[in-house]
Amino acid sequence: MKTFALALTLPLASVLAFSAPAFAKIATGSTVSDMAVVDSNGVTHNLSDFEGQRVILEWTNEGCPYVKKHYKSNNMQALQREATASETETVWLSVISSAPGKQGHKDGNGANQTVERYAAAPTAVILDEEGTMGLAFSARTTPHMYIIDADQTLVYQGAIDDNSSSSVASIDGATNYVRAALADLDAGRAVATTDTQPYGCSVKYAS
């Protein structure tokens, strides 16, 4: 099994060097650990602290119509609550990698106000304005979803579902890959669909 261990407190230049070429995909099945990030309340989290828990990462951008599709319909919030209410303790981290001046960028207060406005239910909102975490995970779109299991193994990455339309109406009848992967984990099965093509707006990195 591959191990992916990168402290996200490294200088951005180091991450860019690691990431070349851009969006070199982290292999599903890799171990993800030792990633320190700061949330909208100024609290530092490290993925290594969540060993024994599942971690769901959701890249988000409030201005993106594909993100709006899932929030205005309450689809994302329902999934957040469902996941974090699981018998297996689950952490949901919404990640904002929009650079200052770019669509979707938020400071801590702005991120918290967005959570309140949509009655969202993430465990925390991670502020990644330098794009360090996004580049480390090769996050391409909003939304872009990742699931890390209790052993800190990346078991799913890709789209939230199989309908890439930005229409709210397209949610009905769509296969939700995140929900399906969590159901596999709950049942003690290997995740059936581990990698899908993410869809949405491009992540608004600084460059």
Verdict on whether the full-model pTM lies above 0.85: yes
Boundaries of every domain in the chain: 3-202
Asked if CATH classification 3.40.30.10 holds for the domain at 3-202, the reply, yes or no, is yes
What is the chain's pLDDT, residue by residue, as a tens digit (207 residues)? 333 333 333 222 223 223 333 556 789 999 987 889 999 999 999 999 999 999 999 999 999 999 999 999 999 999 999 999 988 899 999 999 999 999 999 999 999 999 999 999 999 999 999 999 999 999 999 999 999 999 999 999 999 999 999 999 999 999 999 999 999 999 999 999 999 999 999 999 997
Q: Which residues of 9-40 are buried (b: 16+ CB within 10 A; e: fewer)?
A: eeeeeebeeebeeeeeebebebebbbbbbbbb
